[in-house]
Amino acid sequence: MYCPIVGTLGYILSPDRKKTLLIHRNLRHDDHHLDKYNGLGGKMLPGEDVVSCLRREIFEEAGIKCEEIILRGTINWTGFGPEGENWLGFVFRIDRFSGTPFISNEEGSLSWVPIDSLDKLPMWEGDRYFLPLVFDDDPKMFHGYMPYKDGKSLSWDYERI
């Protein structure tokens, strides 16, 4: 039986659309994501839909309110979690927000990173496959499958519809 953890992952665009707000997970030494850069988001709670989950997570992690949200795609990450859990992720781009982002939270520091420099950051290797799809201008959503084993991406397959 397949019972994934459902989560959201959001990439917030700067007003000039050249940067994205990322978290550098550098504060909790027991963090599965330690020292990696990532978008904002997390696990969906009972009673939430994916958009309310995304709004809550971004408000908790960055102190901002999402004003314009675009679902860019979904990813089935099997074997991803610290215990090999399966995740079903809804990946969003936030094109407009209100408020001033925190500079850090309990998981790490937040910073605006140029989109054209994302490939230079330490991150999950699999993120490099789908991030271009988050920021491109194709109006179609992507739906991908990315199995992991021992913290490594094994493959990437997707289609856009």
Instruction: Calculate mean pLDDT across residues 72-96.
Output: 95
Number of domains the chain is built from: 1
- Write down the pLDDT at residue 31: 67
Kindly report, residue by residue over 123-151, the tens digit of the pLDDT: 998 999 999 999 999 999 999 999 999 98
Domain that holds residue 128: 5-160
What six digits make up the tokens of 153? 């991406």
Q: What percent of the chain clears pLDDT 70, i.e. is strictly above it?
A: 99
What is the CATH number for 21? 3.90.79.10
Sequence-distant contacts of 147-156: CB under 8 A, at least 24 apart: 147/77, 147/78, 147/79, 148/77, 148/78, 148/79, 148/80, 149/79, 149/84, 152/125, 153/124, 153/125, 153/126, 153/129, 156/126, 156/129, 156/130
